[in-house]
Amino acid sequence: MKKVKKRILFIILILIAIAQLFPLYWLITFSLKSNIEIFGENVLGLPKDWRWINYTTALSDGGVLRYFLNSVFYSGTTVAVTGIITAMAGYAIARMKWKLNNLVFGFFALGIMIPTQAALLPLFQVLDKLGLKGGYIGLLIPYISFAIPMSLMILVSFYKGIPKEMEEASYIDGCGVLRCFGTIILPIIKPALATASIFTFLGTWNELMFANTLVDSSDFRTLPVGIMSFSGQYSTDWGLIGAAMVIATLPTIIVYFFLSNQVQESLVMGAVKG
């Protein structure tokens, strides 16, 4: 009976894996076809004519390489700045006692409740008057601002689960606050920091609304905006768009592949503490 249950469970897991991997398979084959194959009879099959030229055209003539590098810069900077700010702010909120502790945490938590659509027009007007709209800084400001609340919530909840005896022992040995944070606390919160970084990276990498509204020049466009611009008014090369989408998908897979162990460790530690 146990063997039958295991086989049934194994079959179910295989079906789930196929359902999860099929969109990726379809996207890759989609990117290597011409419009005739995409809209013809060979919709789901392998390409008859493998059009690798879609990738070279997207990278060279389509400007995908420029958009890709811009997205890497925006996402990398947002992850780094958000991680530094929330790691220190979360430590101050969760581990230190001061009068405005709860008030400051509540102020940051309000950021999760504010929809980005509601902040779009005020941000546009403020950045335009400050002369920051249309450049790197004008897009990094909203990205970092909207990434901080979620990252802070994750880190604060993780900080609260760390035994205070560890810090007390380090203080007795003569460690200061900064040294204690850097040598003891920071290595412990790596799993939670990795989890927060993945959410921040995905949110920044796939963001479209701010990038489409606050950036005018193609020199500062992100990859989602660049892919959207491939769609023409009268004709569209869908294979070219598919190639650009595959290029845009690869970094998210790579980032999760390298940080997946940290995320799993964070979830396990959270479950044990709970």
Closest alpha carbon to 47 in 249, 250, 243, 231 = 243
Distance CA 252, CA 192 (A): 18
Residues 137 and 75 in one domain: yes
Task: State whether 83 and 183 are in the same domain.
Answer: yes
With respect to residue 248, please indicate whether it lies within any of the assigned structural domains.
yes
How high is the pLDDT of residue 79? 94
Does 90 lie in the same domain as 4?
no
In a domain, residue 56? The reply is no
* Stretch 213-225: mean pLDDT: 87
Does one domain contain both 72 and 133? yes
Together in a domain, 120 and 249: yes
What are the tens digits of pLDDT across the range 91-141?
888 887 878 888 888 888 888 888 888 888 888 899 889 888 888 898 999
Q: Does residue 158 form part of some domain? A: yes
Token pair 């196929």: residue: 18
Same domain, 91 and 189: yes
Q: What is the pLDDT of residue 274?
A: 45
The reply to whether 57 falls in a domain is: no
Do 211 and 86 belong to one domain? yes
The more confidently predicted of residues 148 and 258 is 148
Asked if residue 67 and residue 30 are part of one domain, the reply reads no
Q: Are residues 46 and 147 in the same domain?
A: no
What are the tens digits of pLDDT across the range 170-198? Answer: 777 777 778 888 888 888 888 888 888 88
Which pairs with CB-CB distance under 8 Å and at least 24 residues apart come from 155-158? 155/86, 155/87, 155/90, 155/91, 155/94, 155/189, 155/192, 155/193, 155/196, 156/90, 156/93, 156/94, 156/105, 157/270, 158/90, 158/189, 158/191, 158/192, 158/266, 158/269, 158/270
Q: Residue 117 corresponds to which tokens in the numbers above?
A: 């659509």
Work out how many domains the chain is built from and give that number.
2
Residue 133 structural domain: 62-273
Of 10, 28, 51, the residue at which a domain comes to its end is 51
| Same domain membership, residue 129 and residue 7 | no
Q: Where are the alpha helices (DSSP H) in the chain?
A: 2-31, 35-38, 53-60, 64-95, 101-113, 116-130, 136-159, 165-172, 177-180, 186-188, 190-205, 209-214, 223-228, 238-273
Same domain, 75 and 128: yes
The reply to whether 71 and 184 lie within a common domain is yes
CATH number for 235 = 1.10.3720.10
Average pLDDT, the chain: 83
Q: Does residue 161 lie within any of the structural domains?
A: yes
Percentage of residues of the chain with pLDDT beyond 90: 17
